[in-house]
Structure 1
Amino acid sequence: MTAPLAHPLTVIHTRALTLDDTRPQAQAVLVGGGRVLAVGTREEVAALAPRAQVLDHRDLTLTPGMSDAHIHLVSYGFSLSELGLHGARSVSEVQARVLQRVLNTPAGTWIRGGGFLLAELGLNGYPTVRALDEVSPHHPVLLYSRDLHLAWANSLALRLAGINDSTPNPEGGVIVRPLGTLLESATELAANAMPVPSEAEYLRAAKAGADDLASRGYVSAHTMAFEAPDAPRALQTLAARGELPLRVWATLPHERLGLARDLGVGRNPGGLFQWGGVKFFADGALGSRTAWLHAPGFADGSGTGIPLDSPELIRELGAEALRLGLAPVTHAIGDRANTEVLDAYDSLRDLAAQKNIPLRIEHAQHLRPEDLPRFRGIAAGVQPIHLHADGPLIRSLLPHLAGTSYPFRSLQGAGAILAFGSDAPVAPPEYRANFAAALTRRDDEGHPLAPQEALTEMDVLWAHTRGPALAAGWDDEGVIRPGARAAFTLWDRLGGNARALVL
């Protein structure tokens, strides 16, 4: 113990789970200047700071602050005011929700929404314009599937986007015929026809998303590109104004890597906003049948998915990212996509180790058993909440991969850094659902999915706190010990009610 300190300080009396192996539990935490100064018994900490302000939270559990390690933060903020389709169980229910929005929206105004799953709507194929045209002939409508890799549009939206039966497929995308569904990069054709939000609208969405996340008990977030440059710019503006309630680690699309190099953008761990990674997409998603798979592919005969960014591109630009101090961060859902990304990362491991930057694979949902050991040292950004809806899809579309889908315990055992997130707005940033999915492994129909892959409560806590910090290269977060950021989550019980405490 050191000598007593004289300047104003705060002591938190609580049941602390520190995630620090040298002192896993404590009764009191001393905080000053935004940092943890000491951890110990109430008597030990009182001796250090006898005049400190005391916050009495002895009826609660204090942990390192939660992080959402995979979110599209500004898009999530926009989604809070858009048409929500989570839980829709039929096309007629989608029609009813669209019609309700139509009746309260001036004619000609775009209606954007999302959150549906084809399987939950009872569809075996892709939807067409017909159902949306029936309820919205005078409003352009663009609805995204829950995974954001598929968009459903009405005739007016397609006409405004210049899409017709003779429009060729864009690179990395498919315009499904008969018209109505757009896959992967084809969704951008319709999105680009929508009015561009103003700077003020981006700021409002950024603030809405960040405030919502903070209100749920989160203290940091990793925002994962797939957004216009205005989105991170809005977050940077909020940080400069002192209005950002979270610490944000941001990725930029690989298409902007050259610009980042020219501007000298690199890893800068200071402040509440920092650039940390460069984002790649190896494939699409399960629900849209665009995840890249090894043979035999999808069990319904719909193929082996759509490969997107090539392994050669990931290897080449990933090395450039590392030289700038930025982490390669690659979306990979299908088993073939994960194999190819791991192959590309094998050539980057030495450079990543020299730079002390973890390589990241986001989602890592469906894996071959032989690829699991290759995740040692890789940061696996996974979202247990998706297991709930994906369980029935896995049984019907990927039965041969059911045993190694969402393989959390195997990834942990292989030495991967588990970092839990939500992928909001794909799913709500609901940590309770992540706890439930990782602990019970039961899907929305009540069926278990690979129950041997279940985690413990402490495993989930680590993956929502220390894991994201390590994945971001933050040694001062996700742990309660001297020198760490004074950013905590208070719980009535783990996985229960939570609130953030940032001092």
Structure 2
Amino acid sequence: MPTTVTVLRNARIPGRDGLVDVVLDESSVVALVPTTTSVVTGPAPIVVDVEGRWVIPGLWDEHTHMLQWSLAQARVDVSAAQSAAEVAQAIGWHLGVLPESDDGAEHVRDVVVGFGFRDAMWPDRPTRALLDEVAGPTPVVIASGDGHCGWVSTAAAELLGADVDASGILREDDWFDVSRRLDRQGESDLDGLVVVAGTYAAARGIVGVVDLEMADNTRAWQRRVAAGATSLRVEAGFYADRLDEVIAAGYRAGDVVPDTGDLVRIGPLKIMSDGSLNTRTAFCRTPYVVAPVAPVATEVEPVDSGVELVETGDTEVEPVETVVSTGSTGVSSTGSTGVVSTGSTGGGTTADPHHGALDVDPDEMKQQIVRAFDAGLDVTVHAIGDAAVHLVLDTFEEIGRGGRMEHAQLVDPADLPRFAALGVTASIQPEHAMDDRDVVDAYWEGTSGIPFPVRSLVDAGATVRFGSDAPVAALDPWATMAAAVHRSRDDRDPWHPEETVDARTALAAHARGRDEVRAGDVADLVVVDRDPFAPGEPLRDMPVWATMVGGRWTYRA
């Protein structure tokens, strides 16, 4: 079969002068030649005049939850709420416009699901009673913006078999279990939503995603490709509950998943080491120092993390025990410093220090990593707090092999050079800094760590990759790059401007190291209307004209 040759005529390459023709086939960029001298031999090419637009490498979102992102688009958006009362009001308004049953009787509706609350700075606390007041017999579940907790009404708790206290809040594993139950709709309905999400992603220049959904992603993407989800390359991640299955199937990192047209490959084992900032479960050396509302704690058995924690006002660092999070209402340690991990709403206070919690026993984490590596699989570990970051780096160092870390939102300066030295890739989400800047300033004010480092990681020689963690942030690489380059949104002053990077660095982080189109590159390309490297370019609203995967158009404006 003859090779199809495509020529993108009159193209511009950011950072270069003049117009070029980009010549490519189904697999790679064959050549870049000045437009005035362009000569293509062989079969007649397909010529597309891009009329002076800029051609850049295809963009990857290195951290997504594709099903959750798809579902979030159809859920009640409460992200603008500034209090628990406002969330309840928004849910009440939504319920008020839902239709009653055909016979006019009081209609007990299906589960109503909201998305996007961030309660870290609220002046009031969520309670089950507050939600019940507006929900009545209708089951209501509201997922937090960071994906690490949910607010559940009594009717929803009964329907879903969730054990929830008076706060109505489920956190970490308890929430993940309930969230998975919410997703058990018909497979064809869910797959259709993801097909639409893939089309949207292509319209923003995305050519590939790492899907870290808590699901059987290999089988899910086989179905989705069959249903028409062919606009993206996918690396399908998995969690420890499927490690045995993946190993038994003989998969190794990067293997093509059968029946996916070479679009879907085996991604990494993902391990959750700690929680999140907004949920106040990220594991930190310095305690969270502000509590807008009173914390609640319950006791569980502490474990020794081996990480040194600091109490506010201490001048000496002493090793303490920490805890593994095991329940929805929080955890507490009875170790040497009395570290407390709060419950449904609270941060900590100086008198009641709160360092967050680990989601996995450190020894168990190490064993899982070793098993995956021995089977030829890749590993990525979620670590947000600086204590978790340090622990994960220690674990990779002990094993003697680098891997990948998701988030790294608070990093001790001493740990920055360890990323490059150990070969640990930093997979980060710069837009989270824009969402969390006020929460960081309130809760992590006394930390010695660097919040949301980007420039510091780059300068330290780390391999940096960008993603969204959609639906935590929008599935939009231009928002991510804007956050990295400008460290601002909504006309606010730049936040920690010392951590900004230039647009070329941001592009490379979103394009797997490719900062411009070159001969020999894979034929995954994006055509945009403006020069992303132009001084003062805002990036966030970048118009995308076309996207191509493997020499095939997946989006044309």
Q: TM-score per shorter chain, which class?
A: 0.7 to 0.9
**Structure 2 gap segments, 5+ residues each:** 100-106, 257-261, 292-346, 349-353, 533-538, 552-557
| Residues 112-149 of structure 1: per-residue CA shift (max 9 Å, x gap) | 121111146x335x411122212211211111111111
**Counterpart in 2 of 1:238?**
224
For 2:516 and 2:376, the matched residues in 1 are separated by: 24
Q: Which moved more, 1:334-343 or 1:207-216?
A: 207-216
Is contact 2:148–2:176 with CA below 8 Å preserved after alignment? no
Q: What does residue 79 of structure 2 align with?
A: 86
Q: Which amino acid aligns with 2:9?
A: H
Pairs aligned (count): 464
Partner Cα distance (2:18, 2:373) in 1: 37
Q: Identify if the C-alpha distance between structure 1 residues 348 and 37 changes in structure 2 by more than 3 Å, giving closer, same or farther.
A: farther
Which amino acid is 1:247 matched to? Answer: R
Report the aligned-residue RMSD.
2.6
Instruction: Give 2:250's aligned residue.
Output: 264
Check the 8 A contact 1:115/1:427 in 2, yes or no.
no
Displacement of 1:26: 7.1
Aligned-partner Cα distance in 1 for 2:281–2:519: 46
Aligned to 2:151: 152
Residue type at the aligned position of 2:72: S
- How far 1:419 moved relative to its partner? 1.1
Counterpart-to-counterpart distance in 1, 2:377 and 2:289: 35
Q: 2:457 corresponds to which residue?
A: 411
Is the CA contact (8 Å cut-off) linking 2:412 and 2:450 kept in structure 1? yes
Partner of 2:197: 209
- The match for 2:414 is 370
Please say if residues 142 and 150 of structure 2, whose CA atoms lie closer than 8 Å, have aligned partners that are also in contact.
yes
- The structure-2 alpha-carbon separation of the partners of 1:155 and 1:47, relative to structure 1 and needing over 3 Å to count, comes to closer
Q: Which amino acid aligns with 1:481?
A: R
Distance in 1, Cα, partners of 2:481 & 2:183: 38
Q: Which amino acid aligns with 1:201?
A: D
Work out which of the residue numbers 333, 358, 366 in structure 2 matches 1:315: 366
Structure 1's 349 and 239: CA in aligned 2 closer, same or farther, altered over 3 A? farther
Q: AA paired with 1:123?
A: P
Q: TM-score, normalised by structure 1?
A: 0.85
Structure 2 residue corresponding to 1:12, chosen from 8, 22, 29: 8
Select between 399-408 and 198-207 the one with higher mean Cα deviation.
399-408
Which residue of 1 is the match for residue 500 of structure 2?
A: 454
**From 490, 497, 500, the counterpart of 2:547:** 500
Matches within 5 A, 1:62-73: 62-73=55-66
Larger radius of gyration: 2
CA distance in 2, matches of 1:147, 1:107: 29
CA contact (8 A) 1:78 1:209 kept: no
SS at match of 2:156: helix
1:77-112 deviations in Å (ceiling 9; x for gaps): 122212222222333432343224323165241011
Q: For 2:424, give the aligned amino acid.
A: I
- Could you tell me whether the CA contact under 8 Å between 2:18 and 2:34 is conserved in 1? no
State the partner residue of 1:137: 136
Do the aligned residues in 2 keep the contact of 1:65 with 1:217 (CA within 8 Å)?
Answer: yes
Q: Which residue is 2:265 aligned to?
A: 274
**1:471 equivalent in structure 2:** none
Residue 225 of structure 2 is aligned to residue 228 of structure 1: no
Identity %: 29
CA–CA distance in 1 between the matches of 2:60 and 2:150?
Answer: 29
Q: In 2, are the aligned partners of 1:69 and 1:222 still within 8 Å (CA)?
A: yes
Equivalence map 1:172-211=2 (5 Å): 177-188=165-176, 190-191=178-179, 194=182, 196-211=184-199
Residue of structure 1 in register with 2:34 after alignment: 41
C-alpha distance in structure 2 between counterparts of 1:449 and 1:150, whole Å: 26
| 2: CA distance, partners of 1:293 / 1:24 | 48
CA contact 1:202–1:234 (8 Å) conserved in 2: no
Structure 2 CA distance for aligned equivalents of residues 26 and 336 of structure 1: 50
SS in 2 for 1:248: strand
In structure 1, C-alpha distance between the alignment counterparts of 2:396 and 2:169, rounded to whole Å:
34
Which letter maps to 2:367? E
**Structure whose residues are more often helix by fraction:** 1
Determine if contact 2:9/2:47 at 8 Å carries over to the other structure. yes
Q: Evaluate the alpha carbon distance shift between residue 341 and residue 7 of structure 1 in structure 2; reply closer, same or farther with a 3 A threshold.
A: closer
Q: CA separation of 1:445/1:305 partners in 2, compared to 1, >3 Å: closer, same or farther? A: farther
Are residues 1:480 and 2:476 paired? no
C-alpha distance in 1 between matches for 2:484 and 2:254: 33
Distance 1:260 1:143, change over 3 A: same
